[in-house]
Structure formats: structure tokens, C-alpha cells
Chains A and B, each alone.
Chain A
């Protein structure tokens, strides 16, 4: 009872944001956010620590129609904690990020922004807590709308408004699929709810309904080929919003897929392999496209697609494990993907906040204009380095732990498998290792070109470190990342617990116990690494203090007029990669070739394109074709009122004719 009252209070108090005076808006929102975070985290913590199955909190239940009852089970509790962490850290970061906009935007814009932020967070919480179908769709819609308002914060630029509207349309396309799926469930079972799925799946074919749900949720999650909104919306949004969207809003799609899988009874093997194949393609293509980007935030958006591929690979393996009755594979696959959900929310939000700091300092997102930022912005650079190391899955950070769990799921299932399963698992091993290697390429490029070397433009030269209010939340995230990386059994044991309870995997004790021991060894290895590194660095300082140390310019091979333009740019770093990846990515260049007869070449321009091939094929071409047809029909729109009256008259004649012929 108390729980419902408190939650409803938070929901209604959010409206007060509009009435609080400008100076206190931020603080009021922060206080409200903190209260809500504490409340929901306490609920989750109580559920996870105890032994109950669910925690029910009725909000609003009329006698007929949809009900708003919050049902928290272990899976929901996990997602609640993931959402709370990133949203809170994001809002702490937002104070510093939004500070320059206080002068240019009026109080109403800020109210809308804070209100939308609160409602994005609340709707995400409610998405994981609501089971009833219609209420679920309502909060899903609220989530899409609130994120739309957040994305168009900077809507003075027309392109951002266009991007926001395109984003909204694509979100509705996704909702369309989920709605149809729910309607099918209602027609068969009479109830429109996730709980009715179990009943539906026992009686009917599982695969078609799963594919409908999967398509709808995959648009939200960002699997290829349904990812086309991601690389446009994330760069357009302000950075704290990008971090929250990429970190947790995407995971709502993953949550939906998991919720459907929990109820599935048959067709599991086909489902698992479909998810695995789509995820591996998403992972590889996502990072392949990320390497070719010049815009830092677009690069991070494509990298999100890659990580969603890794999460999906874990889910696919888990489902395959359930199908083949292999508890080790199921446990490791699902745990790896859930842990990667948490890990990705941490390091991707860190990277996006960091990109926001860089944007605020240099006013550009173009990698080719940055460089040498580490000298003026050391904190930001170190934080970006930590985020890059984590996202490449390198020890001793957290990305390694989740990728390790997924690898172990693959390796464990190899020895007993039949021929086809061996081939599928080996294919996924190759895919995952390729994704890891490409991610290292991508992030050495991003970090190296942006922060190291010499400044490539005036903007980078005049960059200054951002305020502490923006770096401290990032430090908090890094602390969490290191905690999970160095002390992983602490976090993974509860995740194992969640997975075994949710997916009803039996005989988990042997496997989860063995793997907690393995993770403890990894933690010890992490500790050993840190100690060895510290020892080497301390000895180095002592050694260098007793020797002569000079400085000088970089070796220029005898050329003494070195400039910053001599460095490798982001495009040149990816040049040899582009040579290999061109048939897949269709990067194009526009340049007038220099002919042999042209002894004194004229000025020329060089443009290289790396557009999203899937967006071109799925969205741009059909839209152009549609626009072509509409242009021809638009001839009818002459602007003269006589013609429109004529159209109405012809329509009446048509109706008369058809009713005489008894067609209508």
C-alpha cells in the first residue's frame, strides 16, 4: 500500500517541474529522481535478496479493462537496477553539460526537457514492471514520446528536428509489430498480457509469434537490419540523453525479447539459431561500419549496435542451450548476455558522456578536427581510455567478464555437440573473436586520433578541461566498471541466481559454483596484473631519476619542419581496412582522377562517402521510389479551387455509378 502511494506520488510530483522557478528546476528534478531511484532499488534489492518469486504493487485497477499493476520478478529487478544507475549518473552529468544552454534556451524548454527525462526514466521502469498488454503498450508509447522530446532539445537546427521525427516514425513501426503480436495473443487466449503467453505457447506454434515480437523489440534494440534510427538519433540528441538512450533504452528491447523467451515452450532450437545468426551479423556489420565513421557520436552509435549483437549472441546461445537440454550452455549464455547488458550500460554511457565533454570543449564532433586533447583535458582522456578498454573486452575491465562467459558457453558445448551444432558454435566463436579484433581497431582509432598526437585544428588547440561536475559522474562509472572487472564473483553470482530462477534451469549449482571459482581466478589475475604494472612503473621512475632524461621533437627522418598535418588522420588509419571492407560497406569516393597529360594539375576536391548500406537499401530507395510516384500524382494539386470542386463532383458521380451497379 505504502509502495503504491509513494510511486504514484513521484508520478504526480513530476508535473510540478513546470511550476518551479528556473534556478531550482534542476535540484527539484534531482531530488525527485533520487527518491524514485531509492524506492525502486529498495524493492529490487528486497526481491533479489529474499526468496519470493514476485513483488506486486497495484497502482490503478479499474474493474474492467487494462490494469496498472507493477509486478517485479527477478529479471525485472535486474533491469530496474541497470536503469537506475545510468539514469542517475546521466542526470548528475547533465548539470554540467546543460550549463552553456541556460542562456540560450528559456525556462519552458528546460521544464519540458526535465519533465521528459523524468518520464523517460519512469516509463522505462514501468516497462519492465508491467505485465498487462495494453498498459505495456501505453508506457512503451510514453517512452518513445519522452525520448523524442529529449532528442529534439536542440531543435533550432532543422536537421535535428527531422531526425527526431524520423526516429518517432520508426519507433511507431516497432510498436505496430508488438501491438499485432499482443492482439494475436488476445484473440487466442482472451487476455492481452505477458502472462497469457505461456498459455498461448503451449497450444500454438511458437515461432511466428516470437518472430513478430522479435521484430518489434529488435527495432528498439537496434539489431541489423532494423537499426536505421540509431546512427541518426544518437548523435542528434544531447550527450546525456544519448548516453541514457544507448545505455538503457535500447535494453528495453532486449528485456522484451527475454520476457517472450521465458514463456516459450517449443521451437527453441530454430529460435536460438535465428537469434544467434542475426546477432553475429549485427555485431560484425555494426563494428565494420563504426570504423568508417568520422563523427565521434555516430561511431559510438554503431558500436552500440555491435554490443547489442554480442548481447543477442548470448541470448541465442542460452536459448540453444535450453533447446539442447544443456544447463551449462543455457546458464552461461543468458548470464553473459545479462551481464553485458549491465556492462554496456556502464561503459557506453561513459563514452557518450565523454563525447559530450569533448563536444563542449571543442564544439565539434568531427574526429578529423581533434587531436592532442590529452594535454589539455587529461581527466576526460583517461576516462575515454577506460571506456575504450572496457568496450573492447580487455582485462581487467568488465567487458572481458561478460565476453568470457559467452565464450565459455560456446566452448563448453563443443565437445558433446553433433556436426551441425559444432559448426554453428565454431562459427559464433569466429564471429565473436572477429568482433573483438575489429572493436580494438575501432577504438584505437577513436582514442588515438581524438586525444593523442598534435592538435589538428584550432578548435582542438583551444580546448580546455570541462568542469568537475561533468567528470565526477564519469569517475563514478569507472569505479563501477573496475569493481565488476576486478571483483566479478560479487556481481556474477547474483546474475547466475537470477538466470537460474527466471529460466528454470536445473542443476545449476555445479556449473555456477565452478564458474564462480573461475571468475575468482580471473580477479586474482587482475590483481596480479595491477601489482606487476605498478611495480614496473615504480621501478621505472626510480631508474629514470638516476639517468639523464631529455626532450626533443618526434623523429622526423631528417625532416625538421614537422606539422600536425603530417599525422595520420582517422580516414588514413582506416585506409587499409577500407581496402578490404569496400565490397561489403560500399564506401565510395568522388574525385577527378589526374590524367597523365595534365602536367600542372588544377585544384581538386575529394569526397569520401561511407553511408549505411542498409539504410540506403531499406529506407532511402523505397522512399525515393514512393516520392517519385507521389510527384506524379501531385500534378492533381493545381491550387485552383475550380479543379477541387471538379474533383468533388467526379467523386459524387463515381459513388452514384458504383451504387447503381450495386458494387458498394
Chain B
């Protein structure tokens, strides 16, 4: 329960911190920390305009995406408390729930009958397909290392030995999760959230036709996803056995660190050329293979 609430609280300030970091890195003062929340409140007050080409799918897709993110949040643990609905293999459900959200976003984009949105849908489908193996290899290395298959139990048993290779594995894991989070929430270098050229958008163009309440739902889903991945990264860094108040403080510190890293990466990195993106995403799987080799050494299977 505590984990769920902490993620929701973190979702309030992480997007604002990313924006603020980007502004400060560009030399501006930037918007306030809670500006994204204020934007959502403005959206909730507005009405909606729907396209005549769209149908039922367009209407229900944002709600489906948000529901999947909320259900995925139920699977993450915090400190030594178990998640709200833990079971063996819950990380498989985690990955497939997020995939369900993506499925609906893609077909809602195709529903508008616009060429921009079709382009975004086609790219999003390809890139999310390529990022799945990286996620699963990482999860398999978790299972191989700890011997357990549930998020709640894995993170409890993560930091048992103080071996050198565990630290390497943790660092690679954090790096991979940050990259996967940036691919899945459509940030640079895969997709620029601030571009206003439709031919260069991926995620932004898929939600181009949404307005009012639906757009608010989509934004809430994205912000919750940031906090979700931040929570995963937190679990990889901090051992589960520490004092719970210390852990709560560290949780927000890690979420802040995650936001600053995303902000700095977005400020100093250009967006990839669109046809170089598959190779970039496959590099994540390659690094995950290296993590797998590290685990092979750790578990004494290799020499």
C-alpha cells in the first residue's frame, strides 16, 4: 500500500522536475514544479472535440491505457512490504499490461484516419516490439540471480552478497531501466516530446486528436509511468532491509535523480535519425545480454 501511495505522490513532481531541469540547462528559469499538474486541471475543465472519422475505440483508449498503468502499479513492492497483488511471475503480467495499453494507443491512432497518426502508430508498434526482449532478458537475469520470480520477493533478496559483480549488475540494471523508461514514455533520444513537426513525432502525433478529459487521462498515465519506472530503479539501488523512513526519503531522492537524469539527457542529446532508432533500441538488448553474462559469472555457471 505504501508503495502505491508513494508512486502517486512522486508522479506529482517528477514531470515538473524534468521540465525544470531542461529549462535551467538551457539558461531559462522555467515553469513551476507543479506546472504539469496545473495543466491537467486546466484540461479537466475543458470540453472535447471529436473527429467524425473516429469511433468507439478512440473514445475508450485513454481510459484503457490509464487503467493498465494503475493495475501495473499494484504489482510493485516497496521496502520489505509486498505489493498489493503479488504472485509468482507478476513481472510477466506487468510487461503485458503495459503492452495492452500500447495496443489501444496504436489502434486509437489508426482510428483517426490521418496519415500523421498512422506514421506514429507504425513507428510506435515497431519500437515497442524491439524493447520487449530487453525487458524480458533483464527480468530473466533477476530470476536467475535470486531464484525467485515475483517482484516483491526478488527485490528482498537482491543485495545478499556484497560481491563486486552484484554492483556491476545493479549499475547495468539501472542504466537499462532508465533507457527502457525513456523509450516507453517517449523521450529523447528516441522521440522528442517538444518537437512540433508531425513528421518527426512518434508518441505526440498519436495523441494529436485528443482534447479535454481524454488528453488529461493520457497525461496522467504518462506521469504515473515515470513514477512507476522510478520505483523500479529505486528498488534496484536500495537494499530492502533498511529503515522505512530512510527508505521513503531515499525513494523521493531517487525519483528526483531519475527526473534530473532524464532532463539532462534531453537537453544535451539530439534525437536519433528515425531509421537509426531500431538499432539504438536493439543496443539495449545487447547490453542486457552482457548483464546476463555477468550473472552467469555471478552464479558460478561460467568458471
Residue pairs across A and B with Cβ atoms less than 8 A apart, 20 shown, are A395-B97, A408-B92, A414-B144, A415-B299, A436-B96, A436-B99, A437-B99, A441-B125, A448-B106, A452-B110, A514-B88, A529-B71, A529-B97, A550-B48, A550-B49, A554-B209, A562-B114, A566-B115, A572-B118, A573-B118
B49 contacts A552, C-beta separation under 8 Å:
yes
B110 contacts A444, C-beta separation under 8 Å:
yes
- Name the A residues within 8 Å of B103 (CB-CB): 389, 392, 394, 440, 443-444
- Interface 9-residue window, one of B12-20, B133-141, B163-171, B232-240: B133-141
Q: Which single residue of chain B is at the shortest CB-CB distance from A568?
A: B118
Task: Find residues 362-414 in chain A having any chain B CB closer than 8 Å to their own CB.
Answer: 371-372, 374-375, 378, 382, 385, 389, 392-395, 400, 403-404, 407-408, 410-412, 414
- Name the B residues within 8 Å of A412 (CB-CB): 149
A533 contacts B97, C-beta separation under 8 Å:
no
- Interface 9-residue window, one of B25-33, B56-64, B242-250: B56-64
Q: Is B93 an interface residue (CB 8 A)?
A: yes
A419 contacts B96, C-beta separation under 8 Å:
no
Q: Is A551 an interface residue (CB 8 A)?
A: yes
Minimum-distance CB pairs A-B, first 8: A568-B118, A448-B110, A437-B129, A548-B47, A453-B113, A521-B87, A415-B147, A547-B47
- Name the B residues within 8 Å of A415 (CB-CB): 143-147, 299
Chain A nearest Cβ from B262, distance in angstroms? 24
B contact residues, range: 35 or more
A residues contacting B by CB (< 8 A) are 371-372, 374-375, 378, 382, 385, 389, 392-395, 400, 403-404, 407-408, 410-412, 414-419, 422, 425-426, 429-430, 432-434, 436-438, 440-441, 443-445, 447-449, 452-454, 514-515, 517-518, 521-522, 524-525, 528-529, 532-533, 536-537, 540, 543-544, 547-557, 562, 564, 566-568, 572-577, 579-580
Q: Is B130 an interface residue (CB 8 A)?
A: yes
7 more contacts with CB within 8 A, not counting A415-B299, A447-B107, are A392-B99, A440-B106, A521-B87, A524-B85, A554-B113, A557-B198, A573-B125
Q: Is B212 an interface residue (CB 8 A)?
A: yes
Q: Which single residue of chain A is at the shortest CB-CB distance from B278?
A: A580
Which residue of A411, A416, A574, A580 is within 8 Å of B89 (Cβ)? A411
A444 contacts B149, C-beta separation under 8 Å:
no
Q: Which single residue of chain B is at the shortest CB-CB distance from A448?
A: B110
Q: Is B155 an interface residue (CB 8 A)?
A: no
A441 in contact with B87 given A549-B47, A552-B51, A554-B51 (CB within 8 Å): no
- Name the B residues within 8 Å of A522 (CB-CB): 87, 93
- Name the B residues within 8 Å of A443 (CB-CB): 103
Q: Which single residue of chain B is at the shortest CB-CB distance from A414?
A: B144
A426 in contact with B121 given A394-B99, A433-B132 (CB within 8 Å): no
- Name the B residues within 8 Å of A452 (CB-CB): 55, 57, 107, 110-111, 113
Q: Which single residue of chain B is at the shortest CB-CB distance from A447?
A: B107
The docked-state distance in angstroms from the alpha carbon of A521 to that of B92 is 13
A551 contacts B88, C-beta separation under 8 Å:
no
- Name the A residues within 8 Å of B121 (CB-CB): 444, 448, 568, 573
Q: Is B122 an interface residue (CB 8 A)?
A: yes
The docked-state distance in angstroms from the alpha carbon of A414 to that of B103 is 30
Chain A nearest Cβ from B43, distance in angstroms? 11
The docked-state distance in angstroms from the alpha carbon of A407 to that of B149 is 10
Binary per-residue interface labels of chain B (146-184) against chain A in the complex, 1 for a CB within 8 Å, 0 otherwise: 110100000000000000000000000000000000000
